[in-house]
Amino acid sequence: MTVEDARKLMESWVSNPALRVHMECVAACCSAYARDYDPENSDKWTITGLLHDFDYEKHSTAEEHPYVGVQHLQELGVDNEICLAILGHADYTNTPRESQLAKVLFAVDEISGFIVACSKVRPNGISDLKPKSVVKKLKDKAFAAAVNRNDIAQGIEELGVDQNEHLQKCIDAIRAEAGRLGL
Closest CA to 13 of 66, 62, 61, 53: 53
- Ordered domains of the chain (ranges, CATH): 3-181 (1.10.3210)
**What does the alpha-carbon distance between residue 99 and residue 182 come to, in Å, rounded to a whole number?**
32
pLDDT (tens, 9 = 90+) of the chain, 183 residues, equals 999 999 999 999 999 999 999 999 999 999 999 999 999 999 999 999 999 999 999 998 889 999 999 999 999 999 999 999 999 999 899 999 999 999 999 999 999 999 999 999 999 999 999 999 999 999 999 999 989 999 999 999 999 999 999 999 999 999 999 988 888
DSSP class of residue 99 equals S
In terms of phi and psi (left: phi > 0; alpha: psi -120 to 50; beta: otherwise), the region of 56 is alpha
- Shortest CA distance to 114 belongs to which of 162, 150, 61, 60? 150
pTM of the model: 0.94
Task: Report the C-alpha gap between 123 and 126 in whole angstroms.
Answer: 9
> pLDDT digit string (tens) for 3-41?
999 999 999 999 999 999 999 999 999 999 999 999 999
